Structure 1
Amino acid sequence: MIQPVSSFAHYSILKHTLRWTVLVLPVAVAIGCMVAFFLWLLGLSIHFRFTHTWLLLLLPAAGVVIHFIYQSVGKSSEKGNNLIMEEIHQPGGGIPRRMAPIILITTVITHLFGGSAGREGTAVQIGGSLAHMFGQWFRLKGSDMRLVLTAGVAAGFGAVFGTPVTGAVFAMEVLTIGRIQYDAMLPALMAALIGDFTISAWGIHHTAYHIDALPKTSYLFSAYLSFDLLLFVKVIVASAAFGLSSSLFSGMVHEIKALFGKLFRIKWLIPAAGGLIIIGLTYLNGKPDYLSLGVDPEHAGAITIPSAFHAGGADTWSWLWKTIYTTVTLGTGFKGGEVTPLFYIGATLGNTLAGLLHAPVSLFAALGFIAVFSGATNTPLACTFMGIELFGGEHAVLFAVACFTAYFFSGHSGIYSAQRIAMPKILEAHFADETSLAEANKRRGHFHEKLMEYGSRLKRKKNHE
């Protein structure tokens, strides 16, 4: 027999709600204010470079400056989002207060001189750093500190993109693959909503995107659910490609970082070399379209995220060029986020695939926008909500199909190496217990090495016989 909820339980729920409202309110307002300042400063720096194109030539020097900032005062802050995740998983290491101003300054430097990066990483690190600082002031420990850090991530993410529900779900989903931290739902949602409201109060506006109306199709099941089987199949095919591009991006960032670490013993040469490569690629392309965020056009006819929602608004290989630019930028030590470049990659790849599959351009640009992000962060539920918040709920079913398909096809890769695996996408020995993506891929590498070694022994034995 189901027992009714006691009045004491209701009192506990009310007390819990009021407590977290009091705790989250100042944290989220502070994060929203700092993210608003960051977005304002970022916009100024990007448009200043538009009118002073020679600044790109100073990108190598800017990279060296960023390197020495982290070497002198940044210290552990250089781990970025992964440091916040590690602190949520295992509190104790701490998040330095200087993380927020340092990541803000170095991200602005990256964009001022033309580096191809995003802004989500900066907002999340601002959120995590300020939340940890408030948590210490409030003397929070254990699970309370974990919840306030999660709320900080939600506030930063929700504020920077204007998607509060996505911010809350992202903060709960991104920590562990295959598990959502539902105990953080209340503080995360409150923080994301307050952060987004604070951004709006400061007059910061986000880019609006629009999906063109699709032609009417026959109805299946009911008059409320339209279903085009051929379009559905095209979405699945495209979403598999979105997932593979996510995996390519994640792998390239890690491989470039490892490669340059081996090539250069003098570490400040790494960002200098990265800057020179970006300059060379830009002169090779003959256009600056793949620099910086890729949201606002630097010149008439520039390829941007909004332009990808229109036929002819992207070149066939725009998505690959942006992948190369961004992975070189981030892999050689420049700062910023990965998500806005992932939006660019997804939208331009969607534009290309729409032409190949004879599909609606704006719809496939939108699907790529959220699906590549889903595959790279392993957050299909959050990205489905992002589609609804940004583009409306009309195509919610296709958003979900795209995000979950891309999530599966991206494999066990991701831009956050500290992400843990609670429920693997496929059952393999490397994922026998809950471990981080970095550790799991290291195990998989050892497994493949042993397999190759075993194959070599068998081959030698056969030749000997």
Structure 2
Amino acid sequence: MNTEESYIRHKIKHNEERFLSTLRWILFSFIVGLALGVVGAMFHHGISYVTDLRLSHPFLLYLLPVGAILIALLYKVCGYENDGGTNVVIASIHSDERIPLRMSVLIFISTIFSHLCGASVGREGAALQVGGSLGYSVGRLLRFNDRDKKTMVMVGMSAVFSALFGTPFAAAIFSMEVVSVGIMHYAALLPCTIASLTARYVAARLGAPAPFYEIMEYSKFNFVSCLKIALLASLCGLVSILFCVSLHKTSGLAKKYLKNRYLRALIGGTLMLIISLLIENQDFNGAGTAVIAGCISGETVPYAFLLKIVVTSICIAAGYKGGEIVPTFYIGASFGCLFGQLAGISPSMCAAIGMGAMFCGVTNSPITAFLICLELFGFDGANFFLLAIAFSYVVSGYFGLYSSQKIVYSKFKSNFINKMTE
């Protein structure tokens, strides 16, 4: 056999392996998307049900002092006291860290219960943990190698995020982008896309709608409006730092001075209850999607974004589960709306821009942030969204929600730095 024939045989075999591998990923990601679309829809309906129940029965807020204690006990009984949350999922993609299957069950139950109590938490923590845990378990069941198990983790994350948030484009990219800032795991693009689109289709068929907000008024895209939006985005970058630092410092100080987790839960839950009673409404309890819709309509109160930072930090430190992304949207929408009112530029448009800029600032995921804006608000404001996200990405520096997220390349120069977020 001559050299040319050997080369041809090698290429045929190599491309055959690629073809079979691609077929395998198409099949598995489709199946995972179907299954996790059902899980995401169930989760959506569970949160919607307990939120409606709490709003119609305000006395359930009195569960706040004991709710986090019950969650801590649940994790202890299940042998998972040292819960690393979403950081465990992200870390598993960097390394060979194992993701226990019970994580998905625990975060599912505890997040729904947190919303029932009225804790200021989101849903993305549950989406990423449920998806990552189940994806990892599927990879182990099918005896995937370590590289393929990491891809399956990202596939699961994309599927549940898409089903729950109704943003399949953003979900497909987010699991690849959030892990390492500066690089993308493009090998996972096809399976993440298939799982994301499939899960969204299934969730929609099961009654979990995709949200869409109509911006009341767009400002003209000119030099003055661009300056105002650049200022808004820069301020959102600073607010995102404030939010991240508040979350990390509050949790750190609570663990340092209140070493007993049940005492932390009691004090944090009691503080949240007192704040809720003083406010005399539930605008700061739960995810706050109704408040976000109000901001898009151009209505907010001046202190909303600051108080949401405070109550979310308290609830996360107390041990309530759910995540910080929906509170991030709340903070961005309320801050953006306030900025629009003060700066004489469409408050509705600024609320939408604030959501995208804040998301980018806390996750260091500009492509996902841009896609979320397009899916939630449409393409009419695309120029403003892109401009704002670019400014927020730079101004937010190396801070982030997830301590296991790596900054591989500098935001300011094409330098390899490989550091963790602050």
TM-score by length of 1: 0.85
One-letter code aligned to 2:363: T
Correspondence for 1:322: 308
1:148 lines up with 2:152 in the alignment: yes
1:391 lines up with 2:381 in the alignment: no
1:196 lines up with 2:200 in the alignment: yes
**Does the C-alpha gap of structure 1 residues 178 and 201 become closer, same or farther in structure 2, counting only changes over 3 Å?**
same
1:377 lines up with 2:363 in the alignment: yes
Correspondence for 1:238: 232
* Contiguous gaps of at least 5 residues in structure 2: 1-10
Q: Deviations over 1:224-258 (max 9, x none)?
A: xxx41111111100001111111111111110111
Counterparts of 1:310 and 1:17 in 2: how far apart (Å)? 45
Counterparts of 1:432 and 1:123 in 2: how far apart (Å)? 31
Correspondence for 2:179: 175
Q: Deviations over 1:17-59 (max 9, x none)?
A: 2110111122122211111111111111111111111111121
One-letter code aligned to 1:425: K
Q: Deviations over 1:400-447 (max 9, x none)?
A: 11112112111211110000110122479xx9742322xxx4xxxxxx
Contact 1:95 1:132 in 2 (8 A): yes
One-letter code aligned to 2:292: I
**Does the C-alpha gap of structure 1 residues 427 and 258 become closer, same or farther in structure 2, counting only changes over 3 Å?**
farther
Q: CA deviation at 1:214?
A: 3.0
Correspondence for 1:71: 76
One-letter code aligned to 1:138: L
Counterparts of 2:128 and 2:416 in 1: how far apart (Å)? 30
Picking from 420, 431, 434, the partner of 2:418 is 434
Which aligned pairs between 1:332-347 and structure 2 lie closer than 5 A?
A: 332-347=318-333
Which aligned pairs between 1:341-356 and structure 2 lie closer than 5 A?
A: 341-356=327-342
Correspondence for 1:35: 40
One-letter code aligned to 1:387: C
Contact 1:318 1:348 in 2 (8 A): yes
Counterparts of 2:146 and 2:333 in 1: how far apart (Å)? 41
Counterparts of 2:209 and 2:380 in 1: how far apart (Å)? 23
Correspondence for 2:280: 286
Counterparts of 1:331 and 1:408 in 2: how far apart (Å)? 28
Contact 2:167 2:210 in 1 (8 A): no
Q: Deviations over 1:330-349 (max 9, x none)?
A: 12211001111111111111
Correspondence for 1:309: 296
Counterparts of 1:265 and 1:130 in 2: how far apart (Å)? 32
Q: CA deviation at 1:282?
A: 1.6
**What SS class does the counterpart of residue 422 from structure 1 fall into?**
strand
Which aligned pairs between 1:101-140 and structure 2 lie closer than 5 A?
A: 101-140=105-144
Which aligned pairs between 1:212-291 and structure 2 lie closer than 5 A?
A: 212-214=216-218, 217=220, 227-291=221-285
Contact 1:381 1:400 in 2 (8 A): no
Q: CA deviation at 1:213?
A: 4.3
One-letter code aligned to 1:73: C
Counterparts of 1:353 and 1:421 in 2: how far apart (Å)? 30
Counterparts of 2:228 and 2:12 in 1: how far apart (Å)? 53
Correspondence for 1:452: none
Contact 1:122 1:336 in 2 (8 A): yes
Q: CA deviation at 1:275?
A: 0.5
Counterparts of 2:346 and 2:18 in 1: how far apart (Å)? 47
**What SS class does the counterpart of residue 434 from structure 1 fall into?**
strand
Correspondence for 1:407: 393
One-letter code aligned to 2:346: P
Counterparts of 2:234 and 2:419 in 1: how far apart (Å)? 26
Contact 1:421 1:434 in 2 (8 A): yes
One-letter code aligned to 1:188: C
Q: CA deviation at 1:287?
A: 2.4
Counterparts of 1:433 and 1:318 in 2: how far apart (Å)? 36
By relative contact order (CA 8 Å, sep 6+), the higher-ranking structure is 2
1:208 lines up with 2:208 in the alignment: no
Structure showing greater radius of gyration is 1
Contact 2:164 2:208 in 1 (8 A): no
**Sequence identity of aligned pairs in percent?**
31
* Contiguous gaps of at least 5 residues in structure 1: 1-5, 218-226, 297-303, 442-465
Count matched residues: 412
Contact 1:172 1:181 in 2 (8 A): yes
Supply the RMSD in Å over aligned alpha carbons.
1.9
Q: Deviations over 1:2-23 (max 9, x none)?
A: xxxx777765553332110111
Counterparts of 1:433 and 1:59 in 2: how far apart (Å)? 42
TM-score by length of 2: 0.93
